[in-house]
Amino acid sequence: AQTVTQSQPEMSVQEAETVTLSCTYDTSENNYYLFWYKQPPSRQMILVIRQEAYKQQNATENRFSVNFQKAAKSFSLKISDSQLGDTAMYFCAFMKRASNYQLIWGAGTKLIIKP
Amino acid sequence: GAVVSQHPSWVICKSGTSVKIECRSLDFQATTMFWYRQFPKQSLMLMATSNEGSKATYEQGVEKDKFLINHASLTLSTLTVTSAHPEDSSFYICSAVQTSGGASETQYFGPGTRLLVL
């Protein structure tokens, strides 16, 4: 069975700093997706970034980028130039490709951006 | 694109009554939707998988007769909490899977429904 581990329950950084959230996973699958979702205080779950395991290139979305290390089963999220609006819970998730679309979730990291 | 709505956003009801929550994919068709429950400061707990035109698949420990799911069209799934009790009070979130386009096989989430049973 797949598992997703987020080892940082909470982090805080100053506005404009760069922060990296860690995520490791365990799977015997070779074909899968990895996701980062954010859940701000409104509790709306928002897709931040998506990585296809067969792609070696790390996914990026504006200030958000990932460091995908397939062999190490690591999928960290880097937020550059952090903003107050980045304050949220961040969840890492795994999905086996061409399956039932179910997500395996990490426990989440609470990120606080301080002014 | 990939917008999912959920209605109502919050509801207060009396114990013993039933509550229906709607989940709609607004700009894409979704043969598969999911229903989650989230407790404070925790991750999402999957309750069931809703498949258009067929019966929902419930996770272990979720009472199918209590949490009725209907996925009657490619854009709408409903969750009905029957005979609600205070322990059913929670935050319920739905998601819909986009299976075509650039971000296929991706779950997009509704804004959630806060249910309080008195």
Phi and psi at residue B88, to the nearest 5°? -85, -10
* Full pLDDT tens readout for chain B, 118 residues: 789 999 999 999 999 999 999 999 999 999 899 999 999 888 999 999 998 888 899 999 999 999 999 998 999 999 999 999 999 999 999 999 987 766 778 999 999 999 999 9
Q: What is the pLDDT of residue B102?
A: 66
Residue ranges with strand state E in B1-118: 4-7, 10-13, 19-25, 32-38, 44-51, 57-58, 67-73, 76-81, 90-98, 106-109, 113-117
The CB density around residue A102, as the number of other CB atoms within 10 Å, is 19
Q: What is the pLDDT of residue B52?
A: 87
Average pLDDT on A80-105 reads: 95
C-alpha to C-alpha distance for B26 and B83, rounded to whole angstroms: 30
Identity (one letter) of the amino acid at B92?
Y
- Strand pairing category for B90-98 and B106-109: antiparallel
The CB density around residue A95, as the number of other CB atoms within 10 Å, is 23
Chain B residues closer than 8 Å to A46 by CB: 109
Q: What is the pLDDT of residue A86?
A: 98
DSSP-assigned letters across all residues of A39-92: E-TT---EEEEEEETT--SPPEETTEEEEEETTTTEEEEEE-S--GGG-EEEEE
Partner-chain contact B111 A42, CB within 8 Å: yes
Q: DSSP letter for B92, please.
A: E
Average pLDDT on A21-38 reads: 96
Q: How confident is the model at residue A56 (pLDDT cuts 50, 70, 90)?
A: confident
Partner-chain contact A45 B32, CB within 8 Å: no
Q: What is the pLDDT of residue B38?
A: 96
Q: Which residue among B34, B97, B105 sits closest to A97, beta carbon to beta carbon? A: B105
C-alpha to C-alpha distance for B12 and B35, rounded to whole angstroms: 19
